[in-house]
Amino acid sequence: MKILKHNSAMTAPVNPKDDPWDPIVSLREFGRHVLTSVEMTVTNLCNMRCEHCAVGDSLVLKEPEQIPLDLMLRRLDEVEHLRTISITGGEPTFRKQMVDEKILPILKYAKERGIRSQINSNLTLDYERYEKLIPYLDVMHISFNYTNEQDFYEIGFANSGHPVKKEVAYKLYHTMMENSRKLSEAGMYISAESMINYRTHDRLPAIHKLITEMGCRRHEVHPMYASNFAKGLPVLSLDEMRQAIHSLLDERNKEIWMLFGTLPFYACNNSEADAALLKRLREEPMVTVRNDPDGRNRVNVNMFTGEVFVTDFADIPSFGSVHEERLDVIFAKWLNEHPLNQKVNCYCEAASCCGPNLLVADMYYKDTDFKSRKAITF
Ligand code: SF4
């Protein structure tokens, strides 16, 4: 098994100075994008049906066999510069068997190799299945877009095909909050993500307050874009998004790490409002802006088919399969061959920016050639 040289640094919790999920870290180190991050989709089962769910279309009630764990671990071991893994779903912990037979072995592998790990969960199930992850997991990532149990009911079951009783939803909401408090106290690092969208943009400070009360150590904030399930939802203007971020920065708890990502504002834009916001984000303590890993340093492996995806943008099909090729080889094909990557593959060190997210570029900057631009404000 490959072991990272700087293993000892991995015992400290992730912090604003150490975000190995940001593709700019490896871009600086190697002078080019390399594969450092592998995400694995381990289930399409979930007990919720969220309005914004990025995998909503794929959620199912029963699922087929998975690829052998040995094959997945071997493919991970072959990734030369692997720094992070993420486990996602559905709700990865939905079946206890999945926790014991897949998730724990993968997390143990990551721990032994000295790479960082994350699980995306809704944290609404029984405490015990999360508790056993504590010794191995670096980041428990949850979604939190609510100011109360009614919000949770409306958002969390918006796409349920059958009626869900309010009381059932309310109970899950309180379980999630209680789990978060208890797990945080027991030493789990919980990062709560909120989206800036038509529901949340004018109540982010209230959402943030609850997140801090739940013991979370990081608050991640991303704008919501119109993709998949979110296609039919109202879209915010760039002005509204900027305003939402300023309001959150005005009222946040400055001891909590605020991580912004997938922002549609760039240092090469000729806009005073963008420049002012970017300056503020750069200067505020405990605030970072993560570059987008999508198509830059990460692949996603579907654990049922073995297919490897480089981005979930539009209908870009799988780039290969773990049954046939090494992940580094599949990733290199995307980097070198795909015209879409060539379109947004820019880099301005002065602004710590390595280009826009593909979806954002497509939505807001359709005719912009980012490769011919340079940062003008930093
Ligand atoms: S890296 Fe690309 S998007 Fe970022 S400031 Fe430079 S040109 Fe603009």
Average pLDDT, 10 consecutive residues per value, the chain (378 residues) = 58 90 96 96 82 62 87 98 94 91 97 97 94 97 94 80 84 96 98 94 97 98 76 83 97 97 94 96 97 93 94 78 97 87 88 91 87 85
Tell whether ligand 1 has an atom less than 6 A from the beta carbon of residue 344.
no
- Site to probe by mutation for ligand 1, drawn from 28, 263, 268 as the one with most ligand atoms within 8 Å of Cβ, is 268
**Residue 310, domain member (yes or no):** yes
Contact predicate 268/375, CB 8 Å: yes
Q: How many domains does the chain have?
A: 1
* Residue 51 pLDDT: 74
**Cα(223)–Cα(245) distance, integer angstroms:** 10
* Residue 310 pLDDT: 87
* Residue 54 pLDDT: 56
Atom of ligand 1 nearest to the CA of 371: 7
**Residue 94, domain member (yes or no):** yes
Q: What burial letters (b/e) apply to 133-156, b meaning 16+ CB within 10 Å?
A: beebbbbbbbbbbbbebebbbebb
* Residue 111 pLDDT: 97
Å from CA of 66 to ligand 1 middle = 40
For residue 136, give both structure tokens.
């191995």
**Cα(190)–Cα(214) distance, integer angstroms:** 9
**Residue 186, domain member (yes or no):** yes
Amino acid at 41: T
CA trace torsion 344, 350, 351, 353 (10° rounding): 30
| Atom 6, ligand 1: residue with shortest CA distance | 348
Residue with tokens 């721990």: 111
- Site to probe by mutation for ligand 1, drawn from 344, 354, 360 as the one with most ligand atoms within 8 Å of Cβ, is 354
Å from CA of 261 to ligand 1 middle = 15
Atom of ligand 1 nearest to the CA of 347: 1
Q: In what order do the strands lie in the sheet with 84-88?
A: 287-290, 257-261, 218-223, 190-196, 139-143, 116-120, 84-88, 37-41, 298-302, 307-309, 320-321
Does the pTM of the predicted model rise above 0.75? yes
| Atom 2, ligand 1: residue with shortest CA distance | 355
* Residue 44 pLDDT: 84
Å from CA of 30 to ligand 1 middle = 19
- Site to probe by mutation for ligand 1, drawn from 358, 374, 378 as the one with most ligand atoms within 8 Å of Cβ, is 374
Å from CA of 371 to ligand 1 middle = 8
Write out the E strands in the chain: 37-41, 84-88, 116-120, 139-143, 190-196, 218-223, 257-261, 287-290, 298-302, 307-309, 320-321
* Residue 275 pLDDT: 95
**Residue 244, domain member (yes or no):** yes
* Residue 60 pLDDT: 63
* Residue 201 pLDDT: 96
Cis preceding linkage at 89, omega within 30? no
* Residue 313 pLDDT: 65
Which residue segment(s) compose the domain that 122 sits in?
7-372
Tell whether ligand 1 has an atom less than 6 A from the beta carbon of residue 196.
no
* Residue 320 pLDDT: 94
Half-sphere exposure of 174 (CA within 13 A, CB side): 5
Could you tell me the CATH number of the domain that includes residue 221?
Answer: 3.20.20.70
**Residue 196, domain member (yes or no):** yes
Å from CA of 296 to ligand 1 middle = 14
Contact predicate 205/213, CB 8 Å: no
**Residue 378, domain member (yes or no):** no
**Residue 1, domain member (yes or no):** no
Tell whether ligand 1 has an atom less than 6 A from the beta carbon of residue 265.
no
| Atom 8, ligand 1: residue with shortest CA distance | 268
Atom of ligand 1 nearest to the CA of 351: 5
Tell whether ligand 1 has an atom less than 6 A from the beta carbon of residue 268.
yes
Write out the E strands in 153-291: 190-196, 218-223, 257-261, 287-290
Tell whether ligand 1 has an atom less than 6 A from the beta carbon of residue 375.
yes
CB atoms inside a 10 Å sphere around CB 303: 24
Å from CA of 152 to ligand 1 middle = 37
DSSP for residue 288: E
DSSP for residue 348: B
**Residue 212, domain member (yes or no):** yes
For residue 30, give both structure tokens.
């190697």
Please name the helix (run of DSSP H) or strand (run of DSSP E) that holds residue 207, with its range, or none.
Answer: helix 204-213
For residue 42, give both structure tokens.
């381990």
SS3 content of the chain, % helix, strand, coil (to 5): 40, 15, 45
